[in-house]
């Protein structure tokens, strides 16, 4: 075989080897990056978050604690409220974390998706629509879970305001003018800004 042909074959082998090495390097790097991203997502999903709101009003006060095991888990809500009359009372997360002018400064229900007011089990509901709490004793102690509110992400309820109302929330099913916006739940008896709490 002429030397020139041998040289060409050798160069071809070098080119193939170089191509294989580059391909192997790219494949290896891609797998490392992909694995790291998956690990980050897993860690984020496992991260627990807790929050608390201290409710204050003229005659009503209480503490609401929120726990979410991960960004894909429902939120567990522990409720303790003093001073409520017996019966059902509307219980909502409101838009703003502002109580400078009392509970009215908290604005409307937290509703980032522009939906109508509804009950906790309704598909068409505000994010902040947690329905009612039922008072049977002097001190209300209760728990609930909700799959719509979250302590994670851009629509987190942290920094917003928890409000307890004077009357029953009709869950948007009533015939009052404000049934589709507030559930006709009446005055705001007590409220508190939802803040991050220690894990």
DSSP per-residue codes, 18-68: HHHHHHHHHHHHHHHHHHHHHHHHHHHHH--EEEEEEEE-SS-EEEEEEEE
Q: What is the mean pLDDT of the chain?
A: 88
What 101-110 contacts at long range (C-beta under 8 Å, 24+ apart), as own/partner pairs, is 102/188, 102/191, 103/57, 103/161, 103/163, 103/188, 103/189, 103/190, 103/191, 104/188, 106/160, 106/161, 106/163, 106/188, 106/191, 108/181, 108/182, 109/181, 109/182, 110/157, 110/160
Q: pLDDT digit string (tens) for 171-195?
A: 999 999 999 999 999 999 999 999 9
Q: What pLDDT shows up at residue 40? A: 47
Is 82 considered catalytic here?
Answer: no
Of the residues 117, 125, 160, 184, which is catalytic? 117
Q: What pLDDT shows up at residue 199? A: 77
Q: What pLDDT shows up at residue 198? A: 87
Instruction: Indicate the pLDDT class of residue 158, thresholds 50, 70 and 90.
Output: very high
Q: What pLDDT shows up at residue 14? A: 65
Q: What pLDDT shows up at residue 44? A: 46
Rounded distance, CA 137 to CA 161, Å?
25
Q: Which residue has the higher pLDDT, 158 or 47?
A: 158
Q: What pLDDT shows up at residue 26? A: 63
Residue 65 has pLDDT above 90, yes or no: yes
Q: pLDDT digit string (tens) for 26-58?
A: 666 666 656 555 544 443 455 899 999 999 999
Of the residues 109, 125, 160, 184, which is catalytic? 109
Find the mean pLDDT for residues 81-85.
98
Residue ranges per domain, the chain? 1-46, 49-196
Is 78 considered catalytic here?
Answer: no
Is 188 considered catalytic here?
Answer: yes
Q: What pLDDT shows up at residue 41? A: 44
49-196 CATH: 2.60.40.200
Find the mean pLDDT for residues 79-106.
98
Q: Which two tokens stand for residue 5?
A: 């042909």
Is 129 considered catalytic here?
Answer: yes
Q: Which residue has the higher pLDDT, 1 or 132?
A: 132
Of the residues 125, 160, 184, 188, which is catalytic? 188
Of the residues 165, 167, 169, 184, which is catalytic? 165
Lowest mean pLDDT among 43-47, 64-68, 160-164, 166-170: 43-47
């Amino acid at each position: 075989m002429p030397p020139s042909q041998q040289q060409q074959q050798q160069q071809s082998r070098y080119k193939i080897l170089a191509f294989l090495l580059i391909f192997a390097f790219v494949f290896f790097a891609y797998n490392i990056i992909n694995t790291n991203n998956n690990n980050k997502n897993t860690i984020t999903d496992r991260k627990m978050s807790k929050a608390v709101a201290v409710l204050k009003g003229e005659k009503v006060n209480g503490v609401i604690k929120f726990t979410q095991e991960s960004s894909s888990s429902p939120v567990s809500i522990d409720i303790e409220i003093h001073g409520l009359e017996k019966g059902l009372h509307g219980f909502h997360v409101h838009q703003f974390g502002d109580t400078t002018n009392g509970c009215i400064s908290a604005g409307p229900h937290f509703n980032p998706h522009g939906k109508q007011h509804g009950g906790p089990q309704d598909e068409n509901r505000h994010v902040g629509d947690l329905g009612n709490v039922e008072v049977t004793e002097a001190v209300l102690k209760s728990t609930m879970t909700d799959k719509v509110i979250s302590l994670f992400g851009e629509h987190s309820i942290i920094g917003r305001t928890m409000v307890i109302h004077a009357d029953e929330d009709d869950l948007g099913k009533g015939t009052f003018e404000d049934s589709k916006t507030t559930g006709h739940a009446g005055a705001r008896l007590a409220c508190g800004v939802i803040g991050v709490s220690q894990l």
